[in-house]
Copies of this chain bind each other. A is one copy, B any other.
Amino acid sequence: MNKKSELQVFREYLKKNRLRYTQEREKIIQEIFATHDHFDVDTLYLTMRRKGINISKASIYRLLPLLIDAGLIQDVFFEDGHMHYEHIYGHEHHCHIRCIECRKIEEFTDPRLNEIERDLAERFGFKILSHKLDVKGLCPECREKIRNMA
């Protein structure tokens, strides 16, 4: 049983909401899913431009809420004055550990987070929809660099 492609999922989402599948949207989605990396609007825009794909930022900004609603991407954190996103369709849910020096990001999952979620649901009576654990620190390389400076 093959997994549906991002584009298939998106087409179904559009049909259900009576929205339209355009060439611009297709190209943006292909670009987003072309790498595993996190992305932000400006970088995405410039990357496409460098490849000769000239789509306006407005179209990107207008597409993002649809992709989030369709479950294809999510915002991960706000930093340097703008939001950062990642695609989640086809990826196991994970959290991030980030180096504050070089900005490197590692991903991880931990079953204890699900236990915590369950306990929170019981304790506060919440229906839990999502969790995000964001850990910050210094990566091995940057620790070394800083150690040598001192």
Contacts and interface: CB of A to CB of B under 8 A. Distances in A.
Interface of A: 78, 83, 97, 99-100, 106, 108, 110, 112-113, 115-117, 119-121, 123-140, 143
B124 A97 contact: yes
Given A110-B116, A115-B112, A143-B127, A121 B133 contact: no
A129 to B, nearest CB: 5
What is the copy number of this chain in the assembly?
2
Contacts of A108: 120, 123-124
A124 B115 CA distance: 23
A75 to B, nearest CB: 9
Given A113-B116, A116-B112, A128 B132 contact: no
